[in-house]
Each structure stands twice: as C-alpha cells, then as structure tokens.
C-alpha cells in the first residue's frame, strides 16, 4: 500500500477489513530478526594453504546488526542456522511492511474521524 490516495476511495468498512487481514498475515513475531547476512571468503594465514594462492575458505556466513550510528554487532553462523536466519530476516521485513500498511490505514481512518459523518 504505497499511497494513501488509493485508500481514500475505499469505504471505512473496507479499510478496517484490510487492516484486519494485514494483521492476520503477520508472521510470528518471535521468529523475526533484524539484520543482514554477509557471505565471506577467508584466508587462514598458513603460507602453505590453498588460500595463500587465492583459493579462499568459505563461504562463511556472517550475521551483522546495526545497533546505532557507528555501532554494529554480529557473528559467524553455523551452516545449519542459515535457512532459519534467512527466514527470520524475511519475517522481519514482512512485519515491517505490514505495519507500515496498517499505519497508513490508521492515518486514513483518523483523518475520516475528524470529518463530519456525511462525508464518509
């Protein structure tokens, strides 16, 4: 739901139903994670290793999370965690998108509540 102008054409009942539908489609909140996955290839420092000749080790997956300006945290993920973490990050983006749409609907409902009943 990009622009609120399209919402102005919907009835108040339709807006409430759309809002309810969005809320029902939210993924489980306990399965969300804000962060990014970074694929890295590393060198181990052993001069006799293949990585010293350009064939790096990896991929190694690193989870990074921004905590604030200039502050990040993260860590290396085990291979068996990768699918779960990808799903959690995807859920986070879906929750964020749905909450933005719900917020847009709520702003339109508030706008209508300020107007006289005959214009709804």
Q: What is the pLDDT of residue 75?
A: 95
Strands (E), the chain: 36-42, 57-68, 71-76
* Structural domain for 59, as ranges: 7-119
Alpha carbon distance 95, 85 (integer Å): 15
Decide: helix, strand or coil at residue 43: coil
Q: What is the pLDDT of residue 6?
A: 83
Q: Is residue 24 part of a domain?
A: yes
The two structure tokens encoding residue 76: 């290396």
Q: What is the pLDDT of residue 116?
A: 67
Tell me the pTM: 0.79
Contact call for residues 56 and 42 (beta carbons, < 8 A):
yes
Q: Is residue 98 part of a domain?
A: yes
| CB burial readout 71-92, b (16+ within 10 A) else e | eeeeeebeeeeeeebeebbebb
Q: Is residue 2 part of a domain?
A: no
Q: What is the pLDDT of residue 1?
A: 44
Q: Is residue 44 part of a domain?
A: yes
Beta-bridge partners for 76: 62
Q: Is residue 76 part of a domain?
A: yes
Q: Is residue 1 part of a domain?
A: no
Beta-bridge partners for 72: 66
Q: What string of pLDDT tens digits covers the 120 residues of the chain? A: 455 668 888 999 999 999 999 999 999 999 999 999 999 999 998 999 999 898 999 999 999 999 989 999 999 999 999 999 999 999 999 999 999 999 999 999 999 988 766 554
Q: Is residue 12 part of a domain?
A: yes
Please tell me the total count of domains within the chain: 1
């Amino acid at each position: 739901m990009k622009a609120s102008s399209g919402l102005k054409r919907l009835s108040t009942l339709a807006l409430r139903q759309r809002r309810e539908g969005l809320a029902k489609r939210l993924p489980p909140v306990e399965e969300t994670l804000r962060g990014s996955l970074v694929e890295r290839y590393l060198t181990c420092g052993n001069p006799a290793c293949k990585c010293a000749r350009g064939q790096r080790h990896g991929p190694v997956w690193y989870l990074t999370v921004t905590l604030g300006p200039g502050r990040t945290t993260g860590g290396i993920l085990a291979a068996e965690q990768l699918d779960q973490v990808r799903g959690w990050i995807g859920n986070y983006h879906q929750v964020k998108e749905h909450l933005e749409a719900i917020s847009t609907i709520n702003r339109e409902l508030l706008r209508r509540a300020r107007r006289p009943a005959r214009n709804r």
